[in-house]
Structure 1
């Protein structure tokens, strides 16, 4: 019998091969094949193996969930699993929400006396790039692989994934120092526009992959929050350019 499973937490080829090796080592597994792009595993087994048993064979950062007609036969069990997955996703996104809250608060406090909304937006965008580039630079070696899973340009030109954190850092400094703002805004539209295309495709294809917006240090799932994050920056750039 062959079952299909969704697996989250994989960010690179090393993750894929590690997960595949762990699953193939489970007793009664005849063959396990893991697809990194789709976040899926096809497991052929001699007899049925509980999903919990497969989960125990994997490191805690990976989550495995059976899909299709073979998944949980009782509706109440399935609903419980869905609720737990949603709760887990919200918990995983907590760092992203906190970072945005701090960035917004910082931009407002810097201009609380003048309430200059243009200056607030520039400082928010500058701090956004600085903070997000910091997390990417924490694991510069692992970031390009994770980023190329959904960014079209990084997938076509691997070197782009290596320089991307430095591009973000440079843009952040431009906004904070008010240097070549028009150029920085145009570059924001270009690079985030390309990334948003990849994010949109990933969400529409319902691929279970890790978002690289905060590098690989924080294992954030790819969700609508990533799209909103990019869309917000694109809208702000358009506003600054044309209003």
Structure 2
């Protein structure tokens, strides 16, 4: 016996509700035939919400029973929340993993050994560049989060606006093979200040903070991962000087 669900979702010339599309997709993946009702004007949407005494759309009905919006539908199918609450390391893991894959791909494309010192150098440099992009996409939000734990930014707020550019410069300088004396001091400085700041905030002051390493308004907890980012930069600086010899 086929299963049928009725879905009301907003689809106008100016706006297509993403949660309506996700609700339709979820219902179809669960084996339901969807009676898809598109609310094509704001007036239709307002009338529907008033008629059913609801505040939002989309709304799904199964067996003449209102299930609710997209989050309610996920709960109905025991899928868990669409957007996990609380802190998560997912953004940082994604950046590090992508940086590693790019470094490996570059090695393959140039017929170099997949696992080599060059691959590690590229991985560190690419990680720095990708992390810098996350910060640069919203400098204002990044600075608001960064100055709550970075010791130098607490004294000199403008440093929070300089930091992402310095991180990007260090990463690009490593990739370009610039002279170590042009790149290493920058990498060492921001790495040491960052590492000391994170260590003090997390392990001495025992503060529970969100890390700005992937940009402002992130849910990445300040801690080991944040410390790793800074130690990467310190290690990169030392390695650049070591390689010169």
Measured against the shorter chain, the TM-score band is: 0.5 to 0.7
Per the alignment, residue 242 of structure 2 pairs with 242
d(CA) in 2 for partners of 1:242, 1:114: 22
Shift in alpha-carbon separation, 1:236–1:174, aligned structure 2, 3 A:
closer
Per the alignment, residue 72 of structure 2 pairs with none
1:94 aligned to 2:93? no
d(CA) in 2 for partners of 1:170, 1:232: 14
Per the alignment, residue 200 of structure 1 pairs with 199
| TM-fit CA distance, 1:156 | 0.9
**What root-mean-square deviation, in Å, do the aligned CA atoms of Structure 1 and Structure 2 show?**
2.2
1:109 aligned to 2:105? yes
d(CA) in 1 for partners of 2:155, 2:188: 19
Residue deviations 1:188-237 (CA, integer Å, cap 9, x gap): 11111101000000112210111011111532111222112322332243
Q: Is the 8 A contact 1:138 1:217 kept in 2?
A: no
Give the number of the structure with larger relative contact order, counting CA–CA contacts within 8 Å between residues 6 or more apart. 1
Pairs within 5 Å for 1:222-241: 222-241=222-241
Q: Is the 8 A contact 1:175 1:184 kept in 2?
A: yes
d(CA) in 2 for partners of 1:97, 1:172: 18
Q: Is the 8 A contact 1:150 1:195 kept in 2?
A: no
Question: What runs of 5+ residues in structure 1 fail to find an aligned partner?
Answer: 1-86
Task: Return the TM-score normalized by structure 2.
Answer: 0.57
Pairs within 5 Å for 1:69-84: none
Shift in alpha-carbon separation, 1:150–1:215, aligned structure 2, 3 A:
same
Per the alignment, residue 78 of structure 1 pairs with none
1:185 aligned to 2:191? no
d(CA) in 1 for partners of 2:153, 2:117: 31
d(CA) in 2 for partners of 1:165, 1:240: 20
Q: Is the 8 A contact 1:121 1:236 kept in 2?
A: no
d(CA) in 1 for partners of 2:132, 2:119: 20
Deviation larger for 198-207 or 110-119: 110-119
| TM-fit CA distance, 1:239 | 2.8
Per the alignment, residue 218 of structure 1 pairs with 218
Larger Rg: 2
d(CA) in 2 for partners of 1:94, 1:143: 18
Q: Is the 8 A contact 2:144 2:216 kept in 1?
A: no
Aligned residues: 156
d(CA) in 1 for partners of 2:158, 2:125: 24
Q: Is the 8 A contact 2:135 2:213 kept in 1?
A: yes
Shift in alpha-carbon separation, 1:92–1:135, aligned structure 2, 3 A:
same
